[in-house]
Amino acid sequence: MKNPIQLQTIHETHGLLKTKQFSSVELTQSALSHIQNVEPHLHALVTVTETLALEQAAQADKRIARGDCQPLTGIPAIIKDLFCTKGIRTTCSSKMLENFIPPYNATAVEKLYANGMVLVGKSNMDEFAMGSSTKTSAFFPTHNPWDLSRVPGGSSGGSAAAVAAKEGLYSLGSDSGGSIRQPASFCSVVGLKPTYGRVSRYGAVPFASSLDHIGPLTQDVEDTAIVMNAISGLDERDSTSLPNNVPDFTQSLGKDIKEMRIGVPRQYFVDGIEHEVESTIRAAILKLEELGANVDWEVTLPHTEYAVAAYYIIAPAEASANLSRYDGIKYGFSYGDTENMWSAIEKTRQYGFGDEVKRRIMLGTHVLSSGCYEKYFLKAQKVRTLISQEFERAFTKYDVLVTPASPYVPFKANEESSGITSLYQSCVCTVPANLAGIPAISVPAGFVNNLPVGMQIMAKPFAEDTLIRVAHAYEQATEWHKRLPVIA
């Protein structure tokens, strides 16, 4: 291979592989070379799977030679490091699982393998998906490819940064309170959180089981549709996986949005939202109006203001239950040099978990304790029901709701003055969709001082095709998705 291959979108690269403009091995070698050059600056990957990637690329070339070239066959990809990958360590960016090598693959990973994925690396993340900056990783922080002094968002910050920097053509992430959409906004890529139950969670290390969603981060909306086709569907190994029919999401591409009903909830333009971000999103909504949509700017979802408070009761409660399995006995990190079992468990958790994880475990254990369960946890669940009901009523009037994906642009990595509470507020626009289990997507909507701004679109359950239709129409009418950071 004389010259490195410039990584493009999935659909563009698929066409070039199919017509044998280059091989998957050549493409993968270029991706790995680019990773080698970029990673010392970006730190988006925990593990680079060079040997496996080249083996999979060689197998993909054989498939292509036989005429079996699926849209993802031979395409380099990144997987967030909370998805179990057989024979490849899965760390959750935690010392607790630093050397854990799963004996099986997550269902979503299996489906991508079946479609010919070439896995080039596992991406960095906030430890156990707890954070909004990818700074709580036990190994190193990830940097934003648009400005290396800023965060890429979180917890799927490594996945978003890797796609924006073109280390891989797409990535798989998880979203419990905005962990796909917020980093997608911060890194100017497309991030989709599907309906709860649309994509199997089997083999994804859980944070908060009733809030965790699996979805793609891609360079454009067409790529999102392609990946969703591959990973969606019923999985009998996941009791929360639903048997709803999976449409061909690519059939929603290229359709106009004339006469579609779009609502703009006032509560999402919250106190503290940066003025330039608000102006950018309002301009993006005006573009949807220009495309023929009917926009109502006065939608009210009054319980939205309680969503973050409810989330930070429910999510830590579920996390405290899920993380109780890490005791240093069954698997993972173990602090074994102690006098008795209880001391060993205490030391294991003391040194195996980071500060943010400990904070959420303690909060979750507290709200589930006697005397606090009804006062906090049960009340938060009631608020969750009210939020779901508000969305249900809204979607009888509107096809989609449009909001900012984040109230501000990526912040500097060394900005600590805002504190923990302010950091928790960063998911104020994204959390309600997780509480209700509805699908939501973030698409690039502009820049403020060369820093990305994302627009969030939400729809009723299992209406991902509607999201893709609206997002693609907006994307094709703008140029934001074509801008690349210098590092790419």
- Across the strands, what pairs with 458? 401, 440
What is the 8-class DSSP label of residue 99? T
Structural tokens at position 386:
């009210």
Residues with Cβ < 8 Å from 41, sequence gap 6 or more?
Answer: 143, 148, 487
Told to judge if 155 belongs to the known catalytic residues of this protein, a careful annotator would answer yes
CA distance readout (Å), 421 to 212, 383, 418, 424: 22, 20, 8, 5
Relative to beta strand 118-123, strand 294-299 is unpaired
As a 3-state breakdown, the chain gives helix, strand, coil percent values, each rounded to 5, of: 45, 15, 40
Catalytic residue among 93, 94, 155, 200: 155
What is the C-alpha to C-alpha distance for residues 115 and 169, in angstroms, rounded to an integer? 15
What is the C-alpha to C-alpha distance for residues 293 and 300, in angstroms, rounded to an integer? 19
What is the C-alpha to C-alpha distance for residues 59 and 80, in angstroms, rounded to an integer? 23
Told to judge if 388 belongs to the known catalytic residues of this protein, a careful annotator would answer no
Q: Do the Cβ atoms of 123 and 159 come closer than 8 Å?
A: yes
Catalytic residue among 179, 406, 426, 442: 179
Determine the 3-state secondary structure of 77 from DSSP: strand
Residues with Cβ < 8 Å from 237, sequence gap 6 or more?
Answer: 107, 200, 202
Catalytic residue among 80, 111, 122, 193: 80
Distance of CA 41 to the CA centre of its chain: 22
Burial 384-403 (b: 16+ CB within 10 A, else e): beebbebbeebbeebbbbbb
What is the C-alpha to C-alpha distance for residues 125 and 209, in angstroms, rounded to an integer? 18
Told to judge if 179 belongs to the known catalytic residues of this protein, a careful annotator would answer yes
Residues with catalytic function = 80, 155, 179
